[in-house]
Amino acid sequence: MLIYLHGFNSSPGSHKAQLLKRYLEEHGLGDQYCCPALPHLPQRAIALVEAEIVQHPRESITLIGSSLGGFYSSYLAERHDLRAVLINPAVYPHEGLRAYLGVQRNLHTQQQYELTEEHLRQWEKLYLPTVRAQRYLLLVETGDEVLDYREAVKQYAGARQSVIEGGDHSLRSFPEQIPLILEFAGLARA
């Protein structure tokens, strides 16, 4: 089961989430995909994903997290002993998203909410200074204009890593990475 966690102010309608969903459906794996709409409050987002996790055998689950979803995936992978694919993950959202305090609008749903100090406190509580590298596949592009890819490379040192020159925060090379993601998740077809 692939559980895709979208990024900040995004949704299951994001380009990567939809691309992966279509790919899996076209390859007879549509029933192995889930992408919940994450609430903007971190504690609620974690609770929603944990409710999904308990519905599947732990060994069958691979989390796939993009940006803030990568941060959540890392926390959940450590807490529940899961594999995770991290796509241009946020490493320190409790620091990096401080600049966005105030009114926010979800890019897909247009839902408005206020990003507050409480969000930052909740993200800080979820931050894990060390991780078990063997459980991760890290996919980053050096041209990421939102996050410094080197922070993720350092945080996940020892993990399987694909560092692609150029690109951007959306991970332009994502379509080419799908076979690697499926192989890592144990879903590659022979």
Please tell me the distance from the alpha carbon of residue 105 to that of residue 141, in angstroms, as a whole number.
Answer: 26
Note whether 157 and 130 are within 8 A (CB). no
173 part of a folded domain: yes
Residue 36: which domain range?
A: 2-185
Distance CA 55, CA 50 (A): 9
Residue 190 lies in a domain: no
**Which distant-in-sequence residues (6+ apart) come within 8 Å of 163 by Cβ?**
138, 140, 141, 142, 149, 153
As a whole number of angstroms, the distance between CA 105 and CA 76 comes to 26
Structure tokens at 76: 């959940």
Task: Return per-residue pLDDT of the chain as tens, 190 residues.
Answer: 999 999 999 999 999 999 999 999 999 999 999 999 999 999 999 999 999 999 999 999 999 999 999 999 999 999 999 999 999 999 999 999 999 999 999 999 999 999 999 999 999 999 999 999 999 999 999 999 999 999 999 999 999 999 999 999 999 999 999 999 999 999 976 4
* Per-residue pLDDT, 188: 76
Bridge partners of 162, per DSSP, are: 139
Provide the token pair at 89: 């993950």
The structural domain count of the chain equals 1
47 is a domain residue: yes
Half-sphere exposure of 172 (CA within 13 A, CB side): 10
Query: For residue 86, which of 27, 22, 144 has the smallest C-alpha distance?
Result: 144
Taking the C-alpha atoms of residue 132 and residue 111, their distance in angstroms, rounded to an integer, is 36
3-class SS of residue 52: helix
Q: What pLDDT, on a 0 to 100 scale, did the predictor assign at position 190?
A: 43
**Residue 70 in domain:** yes
Residue 143 resides in a domain: yes
Task: For residue 19, tell me if it sits in a domain.
Answer: yes
Asked, for residue 175, whether it belongs to a domain, the answer is yes
What CATH number has the domain bearing residue 180?
A: 3.40.50.1820
